[in-house]
Amino acid sequence: MMQFPFTALIFVVLAGACISIQAPINAALGRAVQSPLVAAAISFGVGFVLLGLAALASGDGRGFATALRQDWRLWLGGALGAFYVWTIVWTLPRMGVLTAICALALGQMLAAILLDKLGAFGMPVREITAPRILAAAMVAGGLALSRF
């Protein structure tokens, strides 16, 4: 049996906290510049510069040239990320941080259940089980409760 990746879990929880912190920062930037699109573009631009510099500093810069030769569908992650950032910047003032993040988590879980079932993008296949459906249902309940 594979050992549970506890360190990875800690990093993912921290990344989740970063999403919750990033969301109102980007929304505030959107209000300040009077454009959710400009705020999302700035967010992506800063992220691109930092990750690009980290890739170059770590010696992984040649990966940029390799990426140019890959299937175009592998580049869609950036488009999906852009949609996410813009959506959060636009919806956060309308929904609040908690409700928006709950809705985000529900969407992530529903898509993850399907992607696991398909073994999408080379990931291992994981069956749809009652506990997985119950986990998504509990998040849906949390979403409903977040409105009270």
Q: Specify the DSSP class assigned to residue 18.
A: H
Question: Where residue 4 falls among pLDDT bands split at 50, 70, 90?
Answer: confident
Q: Specify the DSSP class assigned to residue 70.
A: S
What is the average pLDDT value for the chain, to the nearest integer?
94
- In sign, the C-alpha dihedral spanning 27, 29, 30, 34 is positive
Question: Where residue 2 falls among pLDDT bands split at 50, 70, 90?
Answer: low
- This prediction's pTM: 0.83
**Domain regions of the chain by residue span:** 1-95, 96-148
